[in-house]
Chain A
Amino acid sequence: MSEILMHPGIILILVGLLAMLAPKSIRKLLLAVGPLAALYFAFNLQLGTDVSIDFVRGYKLGVIHVDKLSWIFTFIFSVLALISGIYACHNENRMEALCAMSYAGCAIGVTLAKDWLTLIFFWEAMAVTSVFLVWCRNSKVSRRAGFRYLLVHMLGGNLLLAGIFLHLGHGGDSNIANLVNGPHNYAYWLMLIGICVNVAMPPVNAWLVDAYSNSTITGGVFMSCLTTKVAVYALLRVFAGSELIMWGGVLMALYGACYAIMENDMRRLLAHHIISQTGFMVAGAGIGTGLAMNGATAHAFCDILFKSLLFMCAGAIMYATGVGHINKLGNMAKKLPFVCICFFAAAFSISGIPLFNGFISKAITVNAAYAAGQGTVYTLLELASIGTFLSIPLKMGYFIFLRKDDKGVEIKTQVPFNMKVAMGMGAFLCFLYGVCPGLLYQYLPFEAPAYHPFLPEHILQYVQMLGMAMVPFMMYLSKMEPHTAISLDTDWFYRKPFVVVVKETSMIFCALCSALGNAWQVVYEKFMELTANPMEFLDARPFRQRKRYNPENYRTSIADPMMITLTVLGCVIGYLVTAI
């Protein structure tokens, strides 16, 4: 039992519970320092550790199973919990504190799970805890977005659950293992679709942009890094080497990049880039070579750092100005210089610019695709890299921070110190891993040839490609400025036509019900009318008796029974006299 309390995820859930109950001053301390305990235990998890607890009928739940892959994901989720906890510690919402920490704890629960049932328990718990980070924003729009998020995740979770039950029912191993080389039966496809929902692969991607952009400022930082990265972990664990996954990842990388170029809302744009960057990881998992899967792991690690930092910067701007639209912002470099520095550290990281952490992670997957002979994948991922550079450092960087026109935006509230500390930590880590890639590479889980990011040809490749990408941006500068609009995504199907179909179907069924009710009433009344007087059928004069039953009409004269009685009596007496 004591070993369970060393589970970093359980520690985070306990921190969340205590933070919810504690008074404000202690809650701040708990949110800022509590995840440090989880980080300590995560870092000190020993490879090969196996802890199980009894469940039912001798079934054991493997709650802690540490190998290289689960360790690195547990470690980075703990780092995220620490940074995001500091970023969020000024929050007064108790429910948000509980749900944010529990959400991070459940994400760690998935990564440390040994068996399918433990995985699905924490998987579903992630959806339940994270939806409150949307609902805590407390607006009608966020409540609706939260319900949509929950519906999609319950669908995905239940597909995964059904797949797991089928897998176990067919005698499959209860421990989580790669399924690609096994039978591609119903269980396989259900589990794959269930995980693809969480990884936000088109066409089941729209929940991400919808929910993350409607979450609380601090909740968005947690959400930006957990659900999709946990799904990437699951893909690496279960579906590594699937060609379908590889092409799905390429689609994600391009899909997110194209949508981000159109987007105006800062957090919607960043959410599209979650899809795009997750696409690199999914493609890496799909390629399935050791180098590609190390690339996917490294990119998930680095993405958590720079994506959380980007969400923190966007949140800080929203917190300070109350504005979230790019076309209503400008000259923020002068008004929020610290946020500007942190933003560009994250923007250079996500674009894969040398000396920032994206360069040492993204390039592994891209070059692994090339080394694996997947030239088309390589080219398309490079194209997605250009899209990232175009929409984050160039578009967001220029229109939000660098253009002279400030659009009349005022700083209404100063960014709290704890937010600045968290952003500073994120920026420092982005730079640290960018210049010292060995700090990350030593923990990469798969056997693969060593990757050297700072080879001259790698640096030259990115300098030329991204440098030249600035030219079309400057050429089309006026067109690149976003305008107030929303881009339709696959959620259109369940927010417009599906709603109409449901409404119309309901109306048809209501009308049918009403018509059937009326018809039944008519039938009932007729039946009652006919059966109210059975004599109409029995009587010889049915057509003359079409009126409601009246017994007086059918009552026979007293003479008839008397006559019958006397006749029978006469016969009996006559018989008796004759016989005697």
Chain B
Amino acid sequence: MTKKTVYMIVAVVLVLSAVAELCGIHMHGAHWWPLPFGYNIFFGFVGCWALIIVSKMIMAPLLQRDEDYYESAGDDDE
């Protein structure tokens, strides 16, 4: 499955869901921010993007070390 196919499937699903949302299917609640049209689509994209940026581009360079950082491979006698 190519990237293009995935994008196409996602686009179709999101358009259909957006139509459903326009037809009146949306959350009800005390807070305003999950309620606007397209909130979940926006949050899904931004949230996933932010997690990738934070994990792979900020945390990984700071926190990742070689696998034998604590114990060298020779320590394992399996």
> Which positions in A face B, CB cutoff 8 Å?
137-141, 144, 257-259, 261-262, 370-371, 373, 375, 378-379, 382-383, 386-387, 389-390, 402, 456-457, 460-461, 463-477, 479-480, 484-489, 495-496
Chain A residue at minimal CB-CB distance from B55: A261
Q: How far is the CA of A479 from the CA of B60 in the complex (A)?
A: 11
Q: How far is the CA of A489 from the CA of B62 in the complex (A)?
A: 11
**Contact status of A140 and B14, CB under 8 A, knowing A464-B41, A473-B48:** no
A-B contact list, 19 entries, CB within 8 Å: A140-B71, A261-B51, A262-B56, A375-B31, A387-B51, A389-B48, A402-B1, A456-B25, A463-B17, A465-B40, A467-B10, A467-B13, A471-B10, A471-B45, A479-B56, A485-B65, A485-B66, A486-B67, A487-B63
**Contact status of A480 and B56, CB under 8 A, knowing A141-B71, A370-B31:** yes
Docked-complex contact B76 and A460, CB < 8 angstroms: no
Contact of A467 among B29, B44, B70 (CB under 8 A): B44
B35 smallest CB distance to A (angstroms): 10
Docked-complex contact B51 and A457, CB < 8 angstroms: no
Chain A residue at minimal CB-CB distance from B2: A474
Query: In the assembled complex, which residues on chain A have CB atoms less than 8 Å from the CB atom of B54?
Result: 258
**Contact status of A464 and B17, CB under 8 A, knowing A471-B7, A471-B45, A486-B67:** yes
B28 smallest CB distance to A (angstroms): 8
Docked-complex contact B47 and A140, CB < 8 angstroms: no
Beta-carbon contacts under 8 Å, B1-41 to A? 1, 3, 6-7, 10, 13-14, 17-18, 20-21, 25-31, 33-34, 40-41
Query: In the assembled complex, which residues on chain B have CB atoms less than 8 Å from the CB atom of A465?
Result: 40-41, 43-44, 47
Q: How far is the CA of A262 from the CA of B3 in the complex (A)?
A: 22
Query: In the assembled complex, which residues on chain B have CB atoms less than 8 Å from the CB atom of A370?
Result: 27, 29-31, 34
- Other A-B contacts than A474-B3, A484-B67, A486-B64, 18 sampled, CB-CB below 8 A, are A140-B76, A141-B71, A141-B76, A262-B56, A262-B59, A370-B27, A378-B31, A379-B43, A382-B47, A389-B48, A464-B44, A468-B10, A469-B45, A473-B52, A476-B52, A479-B57, A480-B56, A485-B65
Q: How far is the CA of A140 from the CA of B70 in the complex (A)?
A: 12
Docked-complex contact A375 and B30, CB < 8 angstroms: yes
Query: In the assembled complex, which residues on chain A have CB atoms less than 8 Å from the CB atom of B65?
Result: 485-488
Docked-complex contact B6 and A140, CB < 8 angstroms: no
Q: How far is the CA of A545 from the CA of B12 in the complex (A)?
A: 111
> Which positions in B face A, CB cutoff 8 Å?
1, 3, 6-7, 10, 13-14, 17-18, 20-21, 25-31, 33-34, 40-45, 47-52, 54-57, 59-60, 63-67, 69-71, 75-78
B73 smallest CB distance to A (angstroms): 9
Contact of B26 among A140, A141, A457 (CB under 8 A): A457
Docked-complex contact A468 and B45, CB < 8 angstroms: yes
Q: How far is the CA of A371 from the CA of B42 in the complex (A)?
A: 22
Query: In the assembled complex, which residues on chain B have CB atoms less than 8 Å from the CB atom of A470?
Result: 6, 10
Q: How far is the CA of A261 from the CA of B56 in the complex (A)?
A: 7
Q: How far is the CA of A553 from the CA of B11 in the complex (A)?
A: 114
Contact of B41 among A379, A382, A468, A489 (CB under 8 A): A468
Q: How far is the CA of A463 from the CA of B6 in the complex (A)?
A: 15
The list of the 5 closest CB pairs from A to B, nearest first, reads A468-B44, A464-B40, A261-B55, A469-B48, A465-B44
Q: How far is the CA of A379 from the CA of B33 in the complex (A)?
A: 9
Chain B residue at minimal CB-CB distance from A489: B63
Docked-complex contact A485 and B64, CB < 8 angstroms: yes
Q: How far is the CA of A424 from the CA of B7 in the complex (A)?
A: 32
Query: In the assembled complex, which residues on chain A have CB atoms less than 8 Å from the CB atom of B17?
Result: 460, 463-464, 467
Query: In the assembled complex, which residues on chain A have CB atoms less than 8 Å from the CB atom of B70?
Result: 486, 495-496
B22 smallest CB distance to A (angstroms): 11
Q: How far is the CA of A484 from the CA of B65 in the complex (A)?
A: 9
Docked-complex contact A144 and B71, CB < 8 angstroms: yes
Docked-complex contact B56 and A476, CB < 8 angstroms: yes
Contact of A383 among B18, B51, B75, B77 (CB under 8 A): B51
Docked-complex contact B10 and A258, CB < 8 angstroms: no
Docked-complex contact A258 and B47, CB < 8 angstroms: no
Q: How far is the CA of A307 from the CA of B9 in the complex (A)?
A: 28
**Most A Cβ at <10 Å: residue of B31, B42, B64, B75:** B64
Q: How far is the CA of A320 from the CA of B45 in the complex (A)?
A: 36
Chain B residue at minimal CB-CB distance from A495: B70
Q: How far is the CA of A468 from the CA of B6 in the complex (A)?
A: 11
Q: How far is the CA of A473 from the CA of B63 in the complex (A)?
A: 22
Q: How far is the CA of A261 from the CA of B63 in the complex (A)?
A: 13
**Contact status of A469 and B44, CB under 8 A, knowing A460-B20, A480-B52:** yes
Docked-complex contact A383 and B67, CB < 8 angstroms: no
**Contact status of A460 and B10, CB under 8 A, knowing A473-B48, A476-B52, A485-B66:** no
Query: In the assembled complex, which residues on chain A have CB atoms less than 8 Å from the CB atom of B78?
Result: 137-139
Docked-complex contact B45 and A382, CB < 8 angstroms: no
Chain B residue at minimal CB-CB distance from A376: B31
Contact of B51 among A258, A487, A489 (CB under 8 A): A258
Docked-complex contact B47 and A386, CB < 8 angstroms: yes
Docked-complex contact B69 and A486, CB < 8 angstroms: yes
Q: How far is the CA of A239 from the CA of B67 in the complex (A)?
A: 38
A533 smallest CB distance to B (angstroms): 60
Q: How far is the CA of A362 from the CA of B71 in the complex (A)?
A: 37
Contact of A386 among B48, B63, B71 (CB under 8 A): B48
Query: In the assembled complex, which residues on chain A have CB atoms less than 8 Å from the CB atom of B76?
Result: 139-141
Query: In the assembled complex, which residues on chain B have CB atoms less than 8 Å from the CB atom of A456?
Result: 20, 25
A38 smallest CB distance to B (angstroms): 33
Q: How far is the CA of A464 from the CA of B40 in the complex (A)?
A: 6
A380 smallest CB distance to B (angstroms): 10
A491 smallest CB distance to B (angstroms): 9
